[in-house]
Each structure stands twice: as C-alpha cells, then as structure tokens.
Chain A
Amino acid sequence: MCANRVRSGLSVLGIVFGVAAVVAMLAVVEGARNDVLERLSRLGTNVLFVHSKTENSGVERGLQYGDAHRLAHISSLIDMVAPAVVVDLRKHESVIGVTPSYMSVRQLFLQSGRALTDVDLKNRARVCVVGREIVGSDGSTVGLGDVVHVNSQMYQVVGIIASEKSSKDRSLGSLLRNHNNAILIPMTTLPKSSNVVDDAILLTEITIRTSDAKDLVATSEVVERALSQGQLSKPSVEIIIPRQLLREEQHAQRVFASVVGCVAFIGVLVGGIGVMNIMLANVAERCKEIGIRRAVGATKKQIAMLFLIESILLTLFGGVGGLILGAIASHGIARFGGWSVSISIWSILLAFGTAGIVGLLAGWYPAKRAANLDPVDAMRRE
C-alpha cells in the first residue's frame, strides 16, 4: 500500500510538470496581454501616431502644421487631431508646442488652473501649462502665475498638469512621454523665421484619435492617402499604431509560450502514459478484488468507473502539484525574467481540465480491461 503510494506519486510527476508548464505558459501569455492593455490604456487604445521622419530638406519635406489641419476634416473615422512640436531642453525638460486638443488626446488632466485655448492660439498668447516637476530659475517648482523662460521668451503659467505615473517603456518610450517635465505652449508662439506661415510649422508628430479602436487600421490608410493628396509633396512620415507595435514586441513571449507549450504537451503525454501504466499494474494487482466485486453483482460499468475515478483522482492530484509548481515558476519568471505574469481563474480551470482529461484518457483502457475480466477467472488469480 505504501509502496503503491510512492509508485503512484512518481507516475504522476509527468502530469505535475506538464500542468506546471501549462500554468506557466498561460501566466506569461496572460501577463503579456495585461501588460499591453495596461500600456495601451495609458496611451489610449484608439490612437495612432503620425511621426515625422525628417526635417525639410531638398528632397523630402517634413510634417507640417497644415497637414494636421487637413487631416482633421477628411474622415468621420477621425475623432480628434493633435499636432505637436517637441523641443527637448536640458534637465529632461521639454517644450511642446501644441493645440488645445493635445491634452484630451493624450489623456492629460489639470491639477489646477486652466488649459490652453483656441484664443491663446489665435492671439499667440505667451502662456503655458506645465508639469509638476518644472522648476523655475530660483530652483523651486513653479506655480500658477509664475513665469518660465522658453528660448529667452517669458511665458506665464496658467495651468498645472496632474502628476503622471512615470514609465520607462522600451517600445513606446517616445510616444509615452513623461509630461511631468513638459511645458506646453501654444503652437503659434513657437519661435520661427518671420517669413514662415503658421501652416508651414514643422511638426514632430500628429496624434490622431479615432472614434472606435477597431477603425485604427482603416484610419491609418485614410491618413496615408490624405497626406499624399495635398498640394505639396507627401511628407516623410511613419504611421505608428501602438497596438500593433506592442503586438510585435510580444514576439519573445509568444516564442516562450510555444516552447513551454511543447514542454507541457510532452509532459502531459508522458504523464498520461505513466498513469496508464500504473493503472494497468493496479488492475493486474487487484484482479482478485475485481473478480469478487463482479461476483457480488458489480456490472462492467461499475468496475470501469472504479478505476476511471481512481485514475482521474490521481491526475487531479498531479494537477494540484502542477498548479503549485507552475505558480512558483511563473513567480520566478516575473522576478528574474522581468516579464509580467498573471495566473487567471481560467488557467487554473484549464490546468485541472487538462489533468482530468488526461486521467480520463489514461484510465480508459485499464478500466476497460478491468471491466472485461471474467469474474471466475479473476477471483482465481492471486
């Protein structure tokens, strides 16, 4: 009996590793998905970026303010357009020339004061909205009504942006910029050569918000076409859909998941064979008992159930072990691999489902053998 338990425990090890691999695989996949969702939710799931690739040059032209005006009205798919010019300053600070739509497209909120308005834009008002970490010339953080110097021009602070969770995002880095260090000024107040019209202001990017996240790809095509239809030549841009970018970045996780998936498959398969083996030994050893049960009136089905249930219990037991091992492994991956992992109720159910089904399949043949034993014959055997 005791030896039996050791034997059963060993046979179930394959199931333990198989289920652990299933759990770890799902944890990585789920974690990667949550990661994407989390990062996307900060950018907004329904935005795309038109990013300038060049300054004006002899051959190519850059993205211009006028392009943003045109894009705003070309399609009902487009909900809002936010052009921006980003000028990096020292101390990680950046000045961003924007229009009033910038804050809503970027999901920025005010902590105090007011936002930039169309009137500011039209009047070329020297006002700004700043992040919480902007410091004045005296070294203290600036407040409402203070004055900050940008390119030797003075801008009055009219609003403070609510603090953002800072992030170091590998692939969305430039898009997910940290506005705690930003100074937003009206686009029209940016310093430029006097003979340049506003529409020719060179942009860093245009952020476009669509009404619906599923229109992103369609919108990017519309934008692509619209940009090349202007009076001028097509600007040199790249269109970035954050969701697609992230999907590509999940490549490593996907490769890992498929490798671990194979391990899971092999583990479960080997485990299943082990369990089948142990159940066959079990049936052989309990031959006399089976004969006795049959002799006192058990049907074939009742005998089969006896062994099927035992087999399923055995693999479910392995499933519990696998779940624990898988959780530990996932924790390790998160800790040392730096990936986000997440064990959902579904992966727990799948782990037990897998274990149970393996138990059913592995127990089927032994149970059938037990059921088909001849009662008299079986009782005679020792």
Chain B
Amino acid sequence: MESNTNIVDVRGLRKVYRETETHVVALDNVSLTVHGGEFVAIVGASGSGKSTLLHLLGALDTPTSGVYELNGKNVATMNDDDLSVVRRTDIGFVFQVFNLIGQLTVLDNVSLPLRYTGIKDCDAEVRALESLTRVGLSHRATHLPSQLSGGEKQRVAIARALVIEPALVLADEPTGNLDSQTGCAILELFETLHRDGHTIVVVTHDENVAKRADRVITISDGNIVRSEVNA
C-alpha cells in the first residue's frame, strides 16, 4: 500500500480466445502500471476487452503472451496452483453479478477465501465478521444471500474481497446491476477503501465512478487508447 511502488506492472499483454474456427483477439497489446494506493477506472465500449483485462489482473486467467508482474511476482507464467494462491492471498475480486453462494450464509460467503488458506475456522469467522463490519452488514451475518437486496449483496461481495487484506482490489462493473442510488452507496464504499490506502482497479460504465478515480483508462478493441489523470 506504499504509494509510488508498482503493484501492477503489465507489458505487452495479449489474450486470444481460440474458438474452433475463429480466433478472437480480446486484448491486443496492453501495457499498464498501477501504483500502490491508486484508484484506476477502466472504461470502454462493450466487448472492448475490459473484463478480459480484469480477469488477467485477477489471476483468473493467463495471457496468451506478455508480462504481468503483481508485487514483483510473475503471474503470467504461473501454474494453476500458484494462480489459486495469488487469488486467495493478493486479489479481492468484486463481480457485477455479486457471485455469492446461495446455500452459504453471509458470514460463510465472506470467510470462504480464508477456508482455502488453512486459517483456523474460528479465526476465519472473526476476520469475516470484521470485514462485514467494514461494509456495515455485520447484523446480516447469519442471513442467506437470497434474503438481501442487491446493494447489500454487493457489499457482502466487497467484504469477501477485503477479508484476505488483498494487495489489489478489482471490480468489474460493480454498480452495473444496481439502481443509481444504491450504486452511489457502493461507489462511496470504494472511495472509503481508497482513502484507507487500498489499490483499486474498477471497470465501469458509470460516469460518476470514472470521475472520482485517480486515473481513467480507455480501452478500445483490445488496446489502451487513452489514459487520463483526474485533477
């Protein structure tokens, strides 16, 4: 979380999806750095490759070619097990559709990443509850996701992302499934995280989100076409 150190260092990143007949070049040649504590927004038309880039940054997928260093670790060439370790130790990912597990309680959803790290169950629960407190939902710990509103679900998802104290928080259109008012509340939550020193990369269509970011990166057809620093 120290500023001026590169958390993310991406050079010449390329991702080609191979279908049976056609190849889809989702990312052509992307280079990008993100400093510790920075709040970056990625914007661009639908299908321009924003999600693809975020999945690569989140170690959910590997690039066809190029370099991706996260905190100095070369993620691009990692095997599947090491990618899993990166996901559960360095990355907090927030999705547009929340992606909570319906059969698990709010608390179990939030503590899920810790279950895979070998932390004791009771410690995991304490940390999950702390994380829920940060998003203001500790009183819903024993509820099921189906009992929550959309905004609450997204806050639970954010609590899950934060529970591992990630080096990098990634969010793919986190307000895309919410009405504008609820979206605002989520945005404020991200701003709070930013003030607390978290490094955040958000993909968004939302003008408001882009306005409050330190930097706005525009992607088109798999390439970064613009990078503006906000005042």
Contact = CB atoms under 8 A, between A and B. Distances in A.
B80 A299 contact: yes
B160 interface: yes
B99 A297 contact: no
Interface stretch (B110-118, B128-136, B176-184): B110-118
B99 A299 contact: no
Contact of B84 (A1, A299, A374, A379): A299
B215 interface: no
Given A292-B101, A376-B55, A297 B61 contact: no
Contacts of B117: 297
B81 interface: yes
B93 interface: yes
Interface in B83-120: 84-85, 87-89, 93, 95, 99-101, 103, 112-113, 116-117
Contacts of B84: 294, 297-300
Contacts of B116: 293, 296-299, 302
Which of A292, A294, A298, A301 has the most chain B CB atoms inside 10 A of its CB? A292
Interface string B129-163: 00000000000000000000000000000001000
Interface size class of B (residues with CB under 8 A): 20 to 34
Interface string B57-94: 01011000000000000000000110011011100010
Nearest to A300: B80
A226 to B, nearest CB: 76
B169 to A, nearest CB: 13
Residue in A297, A302, A379 whose Cβ sees the most chain B Cβ within 10 Å:
A297
Nearest to A299: B84
Interface in A345-381: 374-376, 379
Contacts of B85: 297, 299
Nearest to B58: A295
A295 B89 contact: no
Nearest to A291: B99
B99 A292 contact: yes
Given A288-B99, A376-B60, A296 B113 contact: yes
A297 B80 contact: no
A310 interface: no
Contacts of B89: 297
A289 interface: yes
A301 B164 CA distance: 21
A376 B81 CA distance: 16
B113 A297 contact: yes
Given A302-B116, A375-B60, A376-B55, A296 B95 contact: no
B168 to A, nearest CB: 14
A375 B86 CA distance: 14
A228 B87 CA distance: 89
A295 B93 contact: yes
Given A296-B116, A376-B61, A289 B80 contact: no
Contacts of A294: 84, 87
A302 B85 CA distance: 12
A296 B81 contact: no
A299 B95 contact: no
Contacts of A289: 101, 103
A379 B81 contact: no
Contacts of A376: 55, 60-61
Contact of B95 (A298, A302, A379): A379
Nearest to B85: A297
Nearest to A1: B103
Interface in A31-47: none
Contacts of B80: 299-300
A298 B86 CA distance: 10
A300 B160 CA distance: 20
A291 B103 CA distance: 15
Contact of B87 (A1, A288, A296, A300): A296
Contacts of A297: 84-85, 87-89, 113, 116-117, 164
A192 B88 CA distance: 101
Interface in A269-296: 288-289, 291-296
A298 B100 CA distance: 15
A299 B101 contact: no
Contacts of B60: 295, 375-376
23 contacts: A288-B99, A292-B99, A292-B100, A292-B101, A292-B112, A293-B112, A294-B87, A295-B60, A295-B87, A296-B112, A297-B88, A297-B89, A297-B113, A297-B116, A297-B117, A297-B164, A298-B116, A299-B80, A300-B80, A300-B84, A375-B60, A376-B60, A376-B61
The 5 closest A-B pairs by CB, nearest first: A297-B88, A296-B113, A299-B84, A297-B87, A297-B116
Interface of A: 1, 288-289, 291-302, 374-376, 379
Interface of B: 55, 58, 60-61, 80-81, 84-85, 87-89, 93, 95, 99-101, 103, 112-113, 116-117, 160, 164
Given A295-B87, A299-B85, A379-B99, 9 more contacts: A294-B84, A296-B87, A296-B88, A296-B93, A296-B112, A296-B113, A297-B113, A299-B80, A299-B81
